[in-house]
Structure 1
Amino acid sequence: MQKLFITLLVVVAGFHAAWAWPGEVIKTLKAPAFNSTGIAFDGKNLWVADRKSDLIYCVDPTSGAIIRSIEAPAYWPSALAWNGSHLLSIDTKGGVPLSENYNATIYKIDPSNGHIVHFTAAPSANTSGVESDKGRLWSISPRESKVVMVNATDGTTIRSFPAPTRSSSALAYDGTYLWIVDPYNDKLFMVSPDDGTVIITTETPSPYVRDIAFDGTNLWLADSQTDSLYLVKTRDEHKYRLTNKRELYLNFTHFTTNFGPGKTTSLDVHIAIPEDRVNQKIIAKTRFEPAGYEIFNDRWNQKTAHWHVTDLQSGAHFEANMYVRADTWDITYFLFPDQVGSQRDIPEEIKTLYLADNEKFQLNNPIISNAVKEALGTEENLYYKARKLYRYVREHIYYEMVGGWNTAPEVLSRGNGSCSEYSFVYIALCRAAGIPARYVGAVSVRSDQARYDDVFHRWVEIYLPNYGWIPVDPSGGDSDSPAHQAAYFGAIKGRYIITTQSGGGSESLEWTYNANEFTQTEPKTFVVSESIGNWDVVK
């Protein structure tokens, strides 16, 4: 059996673009003490809570100098916030200095003398994080893994939604979005305050961020392991970040065998040719075997190497190979919904190609049109449209390889499908909602690099004005975790060589990807084709 060989060389040092990104450090200050657990900004100065000294320090954000300090309201001060006139502090022990006494209390403090002017029970006994929002408070209930909004006076819960991860523990509000920290996974999330949708995911600059605060433009982070305060960017002009460079070597083999008894009178094999993309660079000339092929270009501008074979006898086989060497990167887009353009900003050529209907998508089918109405309601923003459709697919389809690539209405009605069928449904919903969509197909480096890959992978790209084509993997993001869902919307790993980019119904690849073949045979002739992969790490 012929096999496809993917050879992977992992470059230990990740790719570091010269670009800036949300989460990039602007400034680092030494913390005022050795166990910083809370941070707030009052419009001029920073306030930093320290659990070991039981003090709250007023700090100059320019120099890091301590201006003064006040007593903490109790013995286990943690998160801090500023409500415009007073400090807010959570004490995780409820004022009782016992290690097992989790009874979190929120204190309102006079910043001039540290006096407590009000207190209320936190939403849960182990509440972490606090932020002020126009007479309401945001906090996190780790045990329930929820973000909770409460009345600032009596602690009544107003609404709640799932936290990005189970280890989310601190938050800040910038007036539009919540920013939430997961110190165990070193992640910083930008989250919709309406429903908890994770919009942006980036890394924290340090290993154990205990609290964060918004200063009107950027975020301050307090880390108790490095004893440092970090000022990090929330926005930057660059729209994506490349990390984790890989050097991939691919030998793609498509193998056709005629088991007879008749002959194959005509065989046409097409192998999709990968090209440079934002996170993929072909670094050597792509080679093909055997000779005698031609380059074919379909209506989607997808190039394939094409072999035409006649009279393949019973017992004979034909093998076509492609050899590719590429650098790839993980890519993460920083998608700000307010910066996504409107439908009128989409180029007409893209609308013509990638809003078109066909037999696979059936945009006017009631199953599709009703799903779009149910998912979107009155939503107008293209980003939120795409996210709501992404959620709809997750809530109405579960992953199962049941065979065949059925139409989008059939898959949605049936309620299950493979990565290809998830892609067809999502493309149909996006196009019906006015969002251009296409699919890409790739050869995948699996987690176990000693076994073969005969499944491959397909996902979607949508066009968002001001950003361009954005990867969305609706089957990969099928999870209850908001952070996991976000990891597959506007981001893709570099463990693929992407070979195919199509709107579907190609003259050469039809609805498949990576490779395709067309055969004509004599009666009662059995022909089998396969593309199979093996890979090893180059030592």
Structure 2
Amino acid sequence: MSYALDNLNNLTTGKMFGQRTIRPLCAASIYGIAFIKDTLIAIDQRKGFLLEINPYTDNTKVLNPHQVREFTGVTGIALCEDTLWVVRDNSVYLCKLNSLGLEHFITLPYPADGIAVWGSTIYVSCQKLGGILIFDRNTRKQITHFYAPGVGVENLAVCEDTLWVCDRTEQTVYALDRATGEIQFNVLTPFDSPTGIAIHTDENGLSNIYVAYASDEPYVRDNPNADPNYEVAYRDRTFVHKLQYHYDPEKRVALSNGYRIEMSYVEEVAPLEEIYLPTLEWHIALPSDTDRQKVVSVEPIGLPFSEQTVEGQRVAVFKFDALTPGERHVLGWKAIVEVRGIKYRITPRDVENIPELPEEFKTRYLVDNDDLAMDTGIVIRAAQDAVGTETNILRKMYNIRNYVYDQLSYGIKPYIDSPDVVLERGVGSCGEYVGVLLALCRLNGIACRTVGRYKCPAFAEHQNVPLQPDFNHVWLEFYIPGFGWLPMESNPDDLGYYSAHPTRFFMGLCWYHIEIGKGISFESLFSKGVRLTKEDISIGELAINHIRFTILDELPPQK
């Protein structure tokens, strides 16, 4: 299974195996994947191609030219010695790799999704059954089953004592104890829609995880027959990428793939109406150093700034003797940050006997200090209904999140209403989701704060080209005494049509989240030492902001 030309190309490619994204030629929708030494075997679920792929060059070969129909619709594959196992519809089949004549193994009452094989033990995932079924190869009888760790369609791989599960909806890979099904840790994948997972053993005997992805991506199509000729269309997007991860059992946190990103935030002073502001200070928060984000450098853009620390957060301060009518400036900052995915693995049992919330946290993070309408009847009732009789802080937080997701649907507005108005309306932006979550959490004694302010466009393959986000974004952090601050997204996990909401961003963030100004205002104005309110002057009416991201490169594995 080698090509002479490929072997020559292997020596001349700029990135070695494991350091590049594998983009198989002619593939439309890769689901199951497996390795034979350094050769990747993959199933194209839509076309029915069983592909042999050179991971250095993306060269592909169809292994089943006469059995394409039999392999169309296959969603999972596994290799054990010279035997290929496949999952199609409700059934599991096996065959010899050199003949590909499918032999029926078992049939499930619902569609099977993924498969992994270890010796005589067969693992089959089934979303409809909400679990992973374990069969004995010799008797074809079910031995036991594990509960599915996520809510989406799952694919499987197995290695030694670990069963690896990738969940398409959760955008997550779970490491399960192969004997008990207990989750050891889980990590966020750097891309959405993971559809396959495999283990590759390198020349040093180390096991590496590779994940396949398949989805549709929008693009601008030049259509000569249309007027105007540019139109939005969709095309297949499928590839395989190495999953980097580092799990710290003491901190109960796993880091995954990350990128070095250049971000700039600039205000172009261009007021709608001319104004005079004496002794002006313009404050803009800077990126934060966190468990997943490292600020490498920060430099000014346009005008120089000094730095202040506000509640532990870095803030750039631009000073003017006065801002006079007709005056124009550009001011802001550019930062280089290294950002990774992060996922905490904390269970309700872990937080049963936590310390009391510190008094200073109660006065700062349990109060209505941001128009949260915590004294209104609709918000008070919502806070009570969300948790019921639950007392465990983690379950309370989870219940509040799910309650808000059940009550609201997502919609963008040019301004943010208070939580009472949002709950009455039933539609909210990310900032309004955060407002409702803050109010309900604080009324239930859970300290929390706002975090944001932007997400890098999630196009990791578009490196060294300028990227502009379409809008800003905020999420929150909640505090568990003894564990610290934990992240939680505002609305992306509210998929609406799922009976069970995914938890990918519950105690987790992906690499494209940029943390800026935790718990403080992102941007504010002071004149003569007095902070200006929106009623005094709106920054949006005073200046035009320009935000740019450039993904420089992928970070090496975390040590």
Give the counterpart letter for 1:432 in structure 2.
L
Matched, 1:269 2:282: yes
Matched, 1:305 2:349: no
Matched, 1:164 2:165: no
Conservation of the 8 A alpha-carbon contact between 1:189 and 1:202: no
Matched, 1:470 2:486: yes
Conservation of the 8 A alpha-carbon contact between 2:303 and 2:318: no
Matched, 1:358 2:369: yes
**1:475-500 C-alpha deviation (Å, 9 max, x unpaired):** 12122569983221111122243221
Q: 1:238 to 1:358 in 2, by over 3 A?
A: closer
**1:149-174 C-alpha deviation (Å, 9 max, x unpaired):** 9xxxxx9xxxx999622235699xx9
Give the counterpart letter for 2:261 in structure 1.
L
Conservation of the 8 A alpha-carbon contact between 1:145 and 1:166: no
Q: 1:187 aligns with which of 165, 173, 177?
A: 173
Per the TM alignment, residue 536 of structure 1 is displaced from its structure 2 partner at its CA by: 3.9
Q: 1:530 aligns with which of 522, 530, 544?
A: 544
Identity %: 21
Distance 2:113 2:332 in 1: 58
Distance 1:441 1:351 in 2: 22
Conservation of the 8 A alpha-carbon contact between 1:104 and 1:125: no
**1:206-258 C-alpha deviation (Å, 9 max, x unpaired):** 9448xxxxxxxxxxxxx9xxxxxxxx999932321223232222332112213
Q: TM-score if structure 1 supplies the norm length?
A: 0.58
Per the TM alignment, residue 263 of structure 1 is displaced from its structure 2 partner at its CA by: 4.0
Conservation of the 8 A alpha-carbon contact between 2:451 and 2:475: yes
Distance 2:456 2:552 in 1: 13
Per the TM alignment, residue 401 of structure 1 is displaced from its structure 2 partner at its CA by: 0.8
Conservation of the 8 A alpha-carbon contact between 1:454 and 1:532: no
Say which SS state the counterpart of residue 452 (structure 2) adopts: strand
Q: 1:253 aligns with which of 266, 270, 274?
A: 266
Matched, 1:378 2:389: yes
**1:382-438 C-alpha deviation (Å, 9 max, x unpaired):** 111111111112222121112211112211221112211111111111111211100
2:13 matched to which residue of 1? none
Once the two structures are superposed, the pairs formed by residues 19-418 of structure 1 within 5 Å of their partners are: 92=92, 104=106, 123-124=109-110, 126=112, 141-142=126-127, 144=128, 146-147=130-131, 164-168=151-155, 181-182=165-166, 187-188=173-174, 200-201=186-187, 207-208=197-198, 236-260=249-273, 262-266=274-278, 267-284=280-297, 286-287=299-300, 289-291=302-304, 293-298=305-310, 303-313=315-325, 315-342=326-353, 344-358=355-369, 360-418=371-429
Say which SS state the counterpart of residue 421 (structure 1) adopts: helix
Conservation of the 8 A alpha-carbon contact between 1:286 and 1:325: no
Give the counterpart letter for 2:259 in structure 1.
R
Give the counterpart letter for 1:308 in structure 2.
F
Distance 1:301 1:13 in 2: 37
Unaligned runs of 5+ in 1: 1-11, 15-29, 31-48, 55-75, 79-89, 106-121, 131-137, 150-154, 192-196, 210-222, 224-231
Distance 1:353 1:141 in 2: 46
Conservation of the 8 A alpha-carbon contact between 1:140 and 1:169: yes
Q: 1:145 to 1:478 in 2, by over 3 A?
A: farther
Distance 2:500 2:380 in 1: 29
Give the counterpart letter for 1:164 in structure 2.
V
Conservation of the 8 A alpha-carbon contact between 2:264 and 2:332: yes
Conservation of the 8 A alpha-carbon contact between 1:170 and 1:180: yes
Distance 1:391 1:492 in 2: 18
Q: 1:455 to 1:234 in 2, by over 3 A?
A: closer
Say which SS state the counterpart of residue 249 (structure 1) adopts: strand
Q: 1:347 to 1:139 in 2, by over 3 A?
A: farther
Matched, 1:486 2:503: yes
1:499 matched to which residue of 2? 516
Conservation of the 8 A alpha-carbon contact between 2:113 and 2:155: no
Over the aligned positions, Cα root-mean-square deviation in angstroms equals 5.5
Bigger Rg over Cα: 1
Unaligned runs of 5+ in 2: 1-16, 20-35, 37-77, 94-99, 117-122, 134-141, 178-182, 200-209, 211-244, 460-464, 554-559
Conservation of the 8 A alpha-carbon contact between 1:445 and 1:535: yes
